[in-house]
Each structure stands twice: as structure tokens, then as C-alpha cells.
Amino acid sequence: IMKKSSRSKQLTIKQTLSRAKKEIKQGNTAVALQLYNAVLKHQPNHPVAKKRLRNLEKTLPHSQALQTEPENPSQDQIYGLTNLYQTGQLLHAERVCRELLQSFPRSLVLLNILGVALCGQGKFQEAVAVYKKAIQLKPDYADAFCNLGNALKELGRLKEAVQNFGKAIQVKPDFEEAYNNRGAALKDLGQLQEAVASYDKAIQLKPDYVEAYSNRGSALKDLGRLDEAVASYDKAIQLKPDYIEAYNNRGLALKDLGQLQEAVANY
């Protein structure tokens, strides 16, 4: 697989796949797994290797299947990357992720950290490509669908964002964050009733979801349901007494209700 000649490389990959198939027939699944992963390390999107690896994993006991997961960097390396992100060193985190992905091209952990680091820098188009890569490697990756939706929303691609939040929910029906984020995208699309329903579901799943109460209040306000909007802001403030945005938005709703003194008090 390491040969530079494209023709030799292709032949070598074919031979590797053929050998893996023979190993499976002989019951040597561990050897076959190593061979498929060797191909995918050099060609992460090789369709035959990916398909055969997935089919093989389905036949394995859960404990053995876990061993076939793409290699990740060491825990120390992952901790270092997380620390870079949390301390705002986003460009540095991006660079380290890209370097490590040369050695661990199928690492979902690295792709996820790279995606959030790119979003933090406003590189949403690049983040979209990263999240799509993660989904390609793991088609049932709910977090990647949700993160992809967030990046698409930032790019103004709202319908695509809603679709991806929906896919995240399809994979993980109790994904309250995806419901909340889908509500925000629906609100931006002007689909206010649907947005409220999505916020309601997020709150049903997580009764102390502060942001969902505040977001729900904004959608209700746009619908002209001002009393309900104020009640939703009340709940957000009850849960988070220092929630500045909720006070401001409650003030706006109270102003529209003609309760000017109360609005001033909120501001």
C-alpha cells in the first residue's frame, strides 16, 4: 500500500482486499479487520473496503466490534486539543487536528474537535465539509448531524439546517439540543408555529432547558402571543436569574403589551 506508483498501489489494495476475503472464509476475522483498516488508513473513502468492513462488524460480538473502531490519538493528545479549544486557541487547535488526522484519518473525535474549532473561527464552510466527512464515516452520528445543522444555519442555508437537525433527531429521538436548534432555524424561516412545537419538545425532554424557554418566548412574541411569551421568559429567568437576554426580551414583550413601567424594570 505504501508504493508510490498509482498502478502498483491499486494492485496492492486489490490484493489486500482479496486476502482479507480469504481470511474471513478461514475464520480469521481479526486479521481481516486489520487488512480493511490498513486500506482505509491510506484511502479513507475506499468504497469496497468500507462496505466490507461494515458488513464484517455486523457479524461480530459487540466487544469485538468495538476493537474495530477507527484509531484515535492518545488520551493526552485529545486532552491537549480540548484544552486548546476551551482556552480559545482555535487556530492552534485546528492545526493540531489537521496534523493528527494525517495519522488518524478515521478519528471521529478529531473531526468533531476540528469542526467546532472551525466554527469558532467563523470558517463554517470548512466545518460543513468536516462534519460531512464524520457522517460519511459514521452514518448514524447524531452529534455530527446536529453540528452540521448549526454550521449550515450560520451560512444561511436554513432548509438544509432543518433537514440535518431532523436527521439528528431521527437517529437520537431524545436529542433535546437538536430540537432546540431546529426551532431556531424554523423561526428564521418564519415557520413560527413549527418552531414553538420544536421548542416544546426540547423542554419536554429537558424541563430545565433555559435557552429553549427563552427561544420559545421569542417565537411566541413574533406570533403575537405576548402573554405566553412573557410566561416563557419568566420560566427562563426563574431557572437562570442572571439571564440578561431573557430580561431584555421580556421587556420587549411587556412593551408591546403596553406595560411600560414593567418593561423599564426589566431593561
User: pLDDT in tens for each of the 267 residues of the chain?
Assistant: 333 333 334 447 887 788 778 767 766 666 677 677 777 777 878 888 888 878 877 776 554 444 444 478 887 888 888 889 889 999 999 999 999 999 899 888 899 999 999 999 999 999 999 999 999 999 999 999 999 999 999 999 999 999 999 999 999 999 999 999 999 999 999 999 999 999 999 999 999 999 999 999 999 999 999 999 999 999 999 999 999 999 999 999 999 999 999 999 999
* Predicted pLDDT of residue 60: 63
How far is it, in rounded angstroms, from Cα 212 to Cα 143?
18
Q: What is the pTM of this model?
A: 0.72
pLDDT at 28: 64
What DSSP designation does 174 have?
A: T
How large is the angle between the packed helices 176-188 and 192-205, nearest 10 degrees? 170
**Helix extents (H) in 87-191:** 90-103, 108-120, 124-137, 142-154, 158-171, 176-188
| C-alpha cell belonging to residue 188 | 428564521
Grid cell, residue 33, equals 479487520
CB-hemisphere CA count at 13 Å for 161?
Answer: 25
Torsion region of 106: left, alpha or beta (phi above 0 gives left; psi -120 to 50 gives alpha) = alpha
